[in-house]
Amino acid sequence: MEGQGRARRVHNAWGEGDRLRQEILDAATRILEETGRENALSLRGVAREVGIAAPSIYLHFKHKTELVWTVLADAYRALAAEMAEAGEAAAGRGSDPWERMCATVTAYRRFAVDKPRRYRLMFSLEYESEDRTVSDHPLVTVHHAWTNAVEMYLTAVAPERRAEAEVLGIHLWTAMHGRLVLWRTLPNPHVGSETILIELERSILGRLLPGAEHRPQ
């Protein structure tokens, strides 16, 4: 019943600590997705969700900030993996560089559309930053996915512009993310149509990628 804590979980057998770690991450992810705020997350609340004593969490995470960063890092890795897999699958079907790039971008959009709470968590959560440099931030996993996708496209279409892969990747990512945010925010049903989103996605690619000017949008 609501208001009652979860039943005490059955202890993991020896060597099953990884399973408990994942259960902790899953519980923290659910709480963060539902609230969108780090201050709504407490180790005591996570422990209650999993059915363990709060001190057990410290066997896997030093503090709450590390737990939050790990939740985000896992989400970023999942998004980057879906983008890479979509591009590789398109290449395996014999798709040309444009179609491969479109498949990668579609994977990004589908992640955001199909997992709206997780996507919002990944890019709008206010949380305490650990003492890390920008290059250490887990978000760079997605940055690299965009850069790699654009670099493969440029290698095939405009090899003389390969040095621009990172900048073009950031431009594409920024445009896609901004469009997704507007799509979620604006109430106009035509703006909210995913068909419109796809059309604008193709327009963005056509305007930013060399050699794509005459491709169908």
Query: Are the C-beta atoms of 120 and 36 separated by less than 8 Å?
Result: yes
112-148: per-residue pLDDT in tens? 999 999 999 998 876 666 555 566 788 999 999 999 9
In the predicted structure, residue 45 carries a pLDDT above the cut 60: yes
Domain boundaries, the chain: 17-59, 72-208
Nearest to 206 by CA among 197, 216, 196, 194: 216
Kindly state the percentage of the chain with pLDDT values over 70. 82
Instruction: Indicate the pTM of the whole model.
Output: 0.84
* Spatial CB neighbours of 71, under 8 Å, sequence gap ≥ 6: 25, 28, 29, 32, 121
Within its chain, how far is the Cα of 129 from the centroid? 18
Question: Residue 199's pLDDT is what?
Answer: 87
* Helix, strand, or coil (residue 37): strand
Question: Residue 1's pLDDT is what?
Answer: 36
Question: Residue 188's pLDDT is what?
Answer: 60
150-172: per-residue pLDDT in tens? 999 999 999 999 999 999 999 99
What is the CATH class of 17-59?
A: mainly alpha
Question: Residue 192's pLDDT is what?
Answer: 53
Q: What is the largest CA-CA distance in the chain?
A: 64
| Local confidence band at 13 (pLDDT 50, 70, 90 cut-offs) | very low
Integer-rounded Cα radius of gyration of the chain: 20
Q: Which residue has the higher pLDDT, 12 or 71?
A: 71
Question: Residue 217's pLDDT is what?
Answer: 47
Phi, psi angle pair for 37, to nearest 5°: -135, 130
| Local confidence band at 6 (pLDDT 50, 70, 90 cut-offs) | very low
